[in-house]
Amino acid sequence: MKKKITSPFCFPGELNMQRRLSEPSQLDLIYDLSAVLIHKGTAVNSGHYIALIKDENTGQWWEFDDEHVSNLGHHPFGEGSSSSGSKVVRSEPVVCQPVSERVEGANENHVDVHLPSSEYYNGSNVERFTSNDAYMLMYNLRRDKEDSKRKDVVHDVNNMEIESEMIFFNDDIFLPSHLGKDIKELNRSYLDGCEQFKLRKNRELDCISERKQEVRSLLSEAPVPSLEEPFYWISSDWLRQWADKIFPSTLDNTSIQCLHGKVPESKIGSMKRISSKAWNKFFFKYNGGPALTNDDYCMTCLIDGAHTVVCADSYRDRRKSLKGLADDVLSGKLVEGTYYVSKSWLQQWTRRKNLDAPSEADGGPTTSIRCPHGQLMPEKAGGAKRLLVPEILWLFIYEDAMKVKPDDLLGCSTFPLDSEECPECSDALSEVACLEDSIRARKLKERQNHEKLALGKSIPLSLDCKYYLLPSTWLTKWRNYISPSGKNASSIEPEILDGVIDSLKCEKHLRLLERPPDLVCKRGSIYQKGSATDGLTIVTENDWKWFCEEWGGIKEKGLSVIVDFSNNAGNELVGSCKEILLSEEPCGPRDEENNEIESQRPVVRTFPEICEDCIGERESCELMQKLNYCDKDISVFLVRGKEAPRSILEASESMFEPDRRASKRSRKTRSFVNLKVSASTSIYQLKMMIWESLGVVKENQILHKGQRIIDQECATLADLNIFPGDKLWVQDSEIHEHRDIADELSDQKMNVQHVEEGFRGTLLTSNLSSQVV
């Protein structure tokens, strides 16, 4: 158990260990206190270590507190220390009686710690010290300098006596002779290494000095006095690494040569001109080459470069003029042409910058208008729009495309004006178009057959009329499918009705697994309440008949519904009907007929009947799944006042939704925290987490979920229906004084009733709340 014992502890300035040996010794085994390790703080949350160390030469104590060092005088706790945590006890005779301290552990085990008696200190005139925070004491064996040459007898593990010559080292340090020899040998080896390092360092410094002098000398001779004198070309890269490295590589001028072995005009920025004298010295010392003189310029490369510049100017001017022609084709000003190109490709071509040469994007002018059979794609196909361009523009486009991708013959297929569209692709597109037309006609007919359902309007319900039930999710998919356009339009067809209806019946009893919708009275008529996206929706018998024809339903297997009235004083209807109270809004004029209607209430009778057993079992399983969670978030708000704000109350009372979306924006207030919890987390543990996060003492916490107070510390979150994402709020009663949470953690004695692990988080726990439904 992590608990720091802070009771005063008395310890001597010296220890006589001679009487503590199992066998007598000839040595004076007096040990002097040399260091004290002090621990400040608690054993749970935080702490800090301070070292008090005695200087053996001067006898003064020093305090080492991180980077702060203080002189304490001749006592470890300072001269005349009066600190409550530690003090000096003078040399008066003191008798410390043996004391036993009982430390209680987490498992009710007891450890007796016996403090030593006064005889342990070898006399009553020994200086003693007392400290509440001393963590470790260090004592050093006391030895005199005149004993440095004396032989000691030591015992090994096998009780064999070994004689070892003790030698005196500096600062009152005694070592065995073999250790002293090893240390001297290591010192001698270290000094030899230092000497070798100095020699190598001096040699390298001399070498660097020589290299610096060489670089200065050669660079001073490198400039060419006049252009009439002969000179040599040298690579700038090699010259740079020659000046930087102590041991340069062989002279290399290959990087400034052209294919003809001469100096090209394009490499002028990568070379330097040096004098013949400097070149001779470079070549004599570093060899390599080749030697490139002022006469070694490449005339062939110069002519080719001039030709390239002229061709680039000509290409740029030609492309600029033809771009204007392409703009006229795209705008419709020029309708006459002889060759087809892709319209989208031509638009991109006109938007590109005017370059000096063809680019990669100039390839494939007819790729998108060529079908898989190698013929002209029908224009009604997607992305196959095409335009006719003049022959002069086509020849320029074709020439660039072949330069960029000479092997891509299919991407630059030629389609003259008289090219015919591919008959196979045309037939396939005609079939697709016919299919799309039939689907559009089918959707239009369904919208006409189910006008109100397609628009999402409510259907007024009449008494003693037969209706049918359909899943609201299926209707939403169907409505999105038949929608002609809009953001909710979808091309995904809803499922076949026969399978959907079967899924709404339990396999065991063949009864209904969902409850019908609620009803509400508006202006004298009865409507199903709201427009829920989940659950069931009531449709007319005519709508059901059309749905069976359109979506593979079987009329006889439908879930039929009849709306009827029953007296308020009548018996409760179960199984085959569901009673729904009308709203308090009057349904019509207060005549005798309406008074009779108001004394009754509507009921929804379903065929087949509702299977309450299966529904209850399913809801119970869903609740158990919700209660079986681990490492999930809940929110806790600290409310400073008598009542919580309305926004917090509404959020706290809302039901758990697995997919609800939580805001990720950070909040500036410190009165809010997200906690990681599990279904088995107890309320006591939750309050400890709130204490640590919000600083409210456990006894002062008044924890709420909505308007309900949560005060059963032994209960788990699952017992009290607290789900992931729930928002709780807590008040500070300020009855008890604030204290450190570390005290609670060290003294905690939880008396929690442990639930058998196999039933934890289920409805079988003994502390199950009566509010679990």
User: Beta partners for 173?
Assistant: 169
Residue 772: inside a domain = no
> Do 526 and 412 lie in a common domain?
no
Is residue 632 located within the same domain as residue 718? yes
Backbone angles phi, psi at 350, to 5 degrees: -70, -25
CB atoms within 10 A of CB 732: 16
**Do residues 494 and 550 share a domain?**
yes
Helix (H, G, I), strand (E, B) or coil at 632: strand
212 has a pLDDT exceeding 80: yes
- pLDDT above 60 for 126: yes
Kindly state whether residue 270 falls inside one of the protein's structural domains: yes
Q: How many domains does the chain have?
A: 5
Residue 165 lies in a domain: no
pLDDT 10s digits, 409-436: 666 788 888 888 888 888 888 888 888 8
Angle between helices 177-221 and 236-244 in degrees, nearest 10? 140
Q: Residue 220 pLDDT > 60, yes or no?
A: yes
Q: C-alpha dihedral over 610, 611, 615, 618, to 10 degrees?
A: -150
pTM: 0.40
**589: in domain:** no
Amino acid 116: pLDDT: 44
CATH code of residue 488? 3.30.2230
Question: Does residue 280 register a pLDDT over 80?
Answer: yes
Q: Are 603 and 580 in contact (CB under 8 A)?
A: yes
- Tokens at residue 354, please? 């005017």
384 and 412 both lie in a single domain: yes
The answer on 378 and 332 residing in a single domain is yes
- Please give the residue range of the domain that contains residue 30: 1-79+127-144
Cα 6 from Cα 50, distance rounded (Å): 16
What is the predicted pLDDT for the residue at 591?
47
1 pLDDT exceeds 90?
no
pLDDT of amino acid 581: 37
Residue with tokens 């400034």: 256
Per-residue model confidence (pLDDT) at position 3: 79
Residue 189 pLDDT: 94
pLDDT at 669 over 50: no
Give pLDDT, residue 653.
62
**In a shared domain, residues 262 and 131:** no
Is 657 part of a structural domain of the chain? no
Same domain flag for 249 and 334: no
As a whole number, mean pLDDT of residues 148-153 equals 42
pLDDT at 588 over 50: no
Same domain for 351 and 307, yes or no, is yes
pLDDT of residue 275: 87
> How many residues does this entry show for the chain?
773
Do 293 and 306 share a structural domain?
Answer: no
pLDDT-derived band at 375 (thresholds 50, 70, 90) equals: confident
State mean pLDDT over 722-746: 81
Same domain, 465 and 482: yes
Which letter, b or e, does each residue of 56-69 get, where b requires 16 or more Cβ atoms within 10 Å of its Cβ?
eeeeebbbeeeeee
Q: Helix, strand, or coil here: 317?
A: helix
Q: State residue 166's pLDDT score.
A: 61
> Which CATH number belongs to the domain containing residue 277 in this structure?
3.30.2230.10
Backbone angles phi, psi at 605, to 5 degrees: -100, 125
Same domain as 357, residue 264: no
Least confident span in 15-24, 109-118, 439-448, 525-534: 109-118
The pLDDT, as a whole number, for residue 86 is: 57
- pLDDT confidence band for 36 (50 / 70 / 90): very high
Q: pLDDT tens for residues 492-543?
A: 888 998 888 888 888 887 888 788 887 777 766 787 776 555 688 889 999 9
